[in-house]
Homo-oligomer: A and B are copies of this chain.
Amino acid sequence: MLQQKFKIPFYYSDLQKERLSQNIDLPNILKSKNITLEFGNKTTSAGDTAEIQKRFPNLYGQKIIKLIEGEHQVEPRPLKVGVVLSGGPAPGGHNVIAGIFNLIKEFHPESTLIGFKDGPIGIIKNDFKKITEKKIFLYFNQGGFDMIGTGRDKIEKDKEFEAALKTVNDHKLDGLVVVGGDDSNTNAAVLAEYFKSKGNNTCVIGVPKTIDGDLKNEYIETSFGFDTCCKLYSEQIGNIMSDSKSAKKYFHICRVMGRSASHIALECALQTHPNAVYIGEDIEAKQIKLFDLVDDLIQLIESRFMEKKYYGVIIIPEGLIEFIPDMKDIIEQINHMFGLDKKRSWVIEDFKNYLQDRITTLESQKKENPNLESEYQKNIERLELFKRLPPRITETFFDSRDPHGNINLSKIETGKLLKWCARQKMLERKEMDLRKKFQCVTHFFGYEGRCGLPSNFDATYCYALGTTAAHLIIHKQTGVMSVVNGLTNPIKDWTAGAIPITQMLNLELRNEEWKPVIKKALVDLNGRPFLELQENLKEWRMNDLYSSLGPLQFSGESKDQTTKTIQLEQKK
C-alpha cells in the first residue's frame, strides 16, 4: 500500500481519507500480464461515409479492438504519456489518470505521465504538470477534476493544431489521453488524424466521460460519472419526496442536469418514482406545447387535490425548454434577434417590438402575397405566447449569452417557468381555490453532482478505462476510444478494448459549417428504460410510491448497485 508513503493533507475529511486507501478491483483481463489485441472487422462511419473517409484518410476504416489474453509481444520501453481532462467534471476522472499511471509504470518503471492543465488549452500552451506517485495517491477515488483542472476550449484552428503538434513533439509523447464527452472525443479523432498526417506517432486515445449519459451507443455502454451523479440527485429527490409526504403542502419541481438529453431525469425517475416526469425527447416527439404541458401539470395537481394530497414531486431535465416546440421556436427567434446586433443589450420590450414589427410588415405584405398568411399567423401566436409568459422568467432570457451569442439556456429556470405558468393558467381559469392551495418549490440539482466522490462503480469503471487506454498506447493504437463493457456482469468478467472514433462520426451543421461529430445519444423512446418508466408513471401519479435511495454507500449491502438504465438496457 502507498498510504504510508505520503502525508495526507489535514483538511481531507475522514471519508476522503478512507477512500484513498480503498482498493479498486480490475476486470480479470486487465489484471493479466499477457495482453494482446484482437482485431474485429473494419468499420465505417455512423453517417456521411464518403465525407468522413475523405476527412480521416489515415484513420477511417480502423478495426474494433478487444484486449485478450495472449503472448505479450511488446518489448518494455519507458513511455511518455500526456492526459487532458475536457469539459465539465464527472466523478471518477482521477481514477482514469491512476489507471494510466499505474499501468505505464508497471510496463516500464521509467515511464512518465504528464497532465495538461485546465483542459485542451494546456496542450495548446504546453502548460502541464508532471504526475507523481504522490499525486496519484492523494487523488485516488476522489471527486473533481482538480488534480490537473479542466476546460472547454477546443483545438480547432490551424494554429492550435500546430501548437498541439509542437507540444507532443517537444515531449516526444507516445500517447495522449483525452478524457471528455462527444465533442472532446471527436476532437481527439481530428487530432489523431492530424498527427498521423504530419508523420507524428503520438497515439490519441479518447475516454468516454459525461454525467449526462449521452455518450453511449452499441459499443459504449455508458459514460463515466453518470452513475454517481444520478445517485446523488436521486438521494436529494428521495429526501424531498419524503419531505413532501410528511409536510403535505408543497409540490416540488426538481430539475436535474441534462441539457441535450434526458437520461439523468429518466434514471432519477426510475430510482425515485415521482408523480410525474417530463422527458424532453418524449415531449418533442409528441410535439407538446408549453401550455399543454402546463395543463398536464395542473391536471396532476387537481387530481391530487381531489384526494387531499396537496403535495407531489415532479422531475424535469435541465434542457426541457428546448424540447418544447413552441418554446424552442421562441428561443430561435430571440437568438435570431440577438444576431442582428451582437453588441446590443436587448431587453424584453425589444423582442416584443421585433415581433410586432414583423407582424405589421407581414400584414401589409400578405395583401399582395397570400402565402404569407401562415407566417403572419405564426408571428401573432409567437407574440401571444411570449406575452403570456411570466416576465420574471422571460427577463432572464436577455441576461447573458452563451459563447455563440445565444440565450444562455442553462440559466433559464424552467422549474419556475412551469410554476408561474401554472399559476397564470389557474388565474385565467379563475380557479382561486386551486391557486391558493398550490404551493410550489423549485430545485435545481446541478453542480453538486458533478464532483461527488465517485461511486464504487464509477471508481472501478474509470480505473479500468484508464488501464485500457494505457494498453492501447502500449500497442500503438490511435484515434480510438477506450471501452470497457459487460458492466452489469461481475467486475471480473468486464471486457476491455477500443472502438475507432470515426465509426461513431457523422456530419452535423455547427455554426454554418459541416463538422464531424459523434451523435449524441438521446433517450430512446422505444428503449427498455423509457418503456419501463411509461408503464409505471400512471401508478406513480396518484399513489406515492416514492423510493428513497439514500446517501451513496461505499460499504454495506447496497454499495454496488449500478444504474437502472444500464440494468434495463442489458436485461436479457
Contact = CB atoms under 8 A, between A and B. Distances in A.
Interface of A: 9, 11-16, 18-19, 88-89, 118, 142-146, 149-150, 232, 235-236, 238-243, 245-248, 250, 252, 271, 273, 392, 395, 441, 443, 446-453, 545-558, 561
27 contacts: A12-B548, A13-B238, A13-B548, A13-B558, A14-B558, A15-B556, A16-B548, A89-B246, A89-B247, A143-B239, A143-B548, A144-B245, A145-B247, A146-B245, A146-B246, A239-B447, A240-B451, A242-B451, A250-B447, A392-B395, A443-B448, A453-B548, A453-B550, A453-B551, A553-B553, A553-B555, A556-B556
A149 B549 contact: no
A390 B89 CA distance: 32
A451 B239 CA distance: 5
A557 B16 CA distance: 11
A447 B238 CA distance: 11
B18 A558 contact: yes
A226 to B, nearest CB: 16
A16 B232 CA distance: 15
B149 A246 contact: yes
A118 B555 CA distance: 36
Given A273-B11, A449-B239, A555-B556, A247 B88 contact: yes
A250 B88 CA distance: 12
Contacts of A546: 11
A239 B452 contact: yes
Interface centre among A9, A240, A447 (most CB of B within 10 A): A447
A465 to B, nearest CB: 18
Copies of this protein in the assembly total: 2
Contacts of A238: 13
Contacts of A452: 235, 239, 242, 550-551
A147 to B, nearest CB: 9
A144 B453 contact: no
Nearest to A143: B242
A547 B248 contact: no
A442 B552 CA distance: 24
A30 B551 CA distance: 30
A263 to B, nearest CB: 20
A129 to B, nearest CB: 15
The 10 A-B pairs at the shortest CB distance, nearest first, are namely A144-B242, A242-B451, A551-B551, A14-B558, A145-B246, A15-B550, A243-B451, A11-B545, A551-B552, A89-B246
A328 B29 CA distance: 65
A450 B243 contact: yes
Contacts of A448: 236, 239-240, 243, 443
Contact of A555 (B11, B19, B555): B555
Nearest to A561: B14
Nearest to A557: B18
Given A11-B545, A242-B451, A453-B548, 10 more contacts: A9-B545, A11-B273, A13-B549, A14-B557, A15-B556, A144-B243, A149-B246, A149-B248, A150-B246, A246-B451
Given A13-B238, A245-B146, A451-B242, A553 B550 contact: no
A390 to B, nearest CB: 11
B554 A556 contact: yes
A548 B142 contact: yes
Contacts of A246: 89, 144-146, 149-150, 451
Contacts of A453: 548, 550-551
Nearest to A150: B246
Q: Choose among A18, A252, A550 the residue with the greatest number of B CB atoms under 10 Å from its CB.
A: A550
A125 to B, nearest CB: 14
B553 A551 contact: yes
A446 B252 CA distance: 12
Contacts of A557: 14, 18
A278 to B, nearest CB: 20
A248 B15 CA distance: 24
A547 B252 contact: no
Contacts of A245: 144, 146
A447 B243 contact: yes
B16 A547 contact: yes
A436 to B, nearest CB: 11
Contacts of A554: 551, 553, 556
Contacts of A450: 239, 243
Nearest to A93: B246
B232 A239 contact: yes
Nearest to A15: B550
A15 B554 CA distance: 12
Contacts of A235: 452, 551
A451 B235 CA distance: 11
A550 B449 CA distance: 11
Contacts of A242: 89, 142-144, 146, 451-452
Nearest to A540: B11
B11 A118 contact: no
A550 B248 contact: no
A12 B547 contact: yes
A30 to B, nearest CB: 26
Contact of A15 (B15, B247, B549): B549
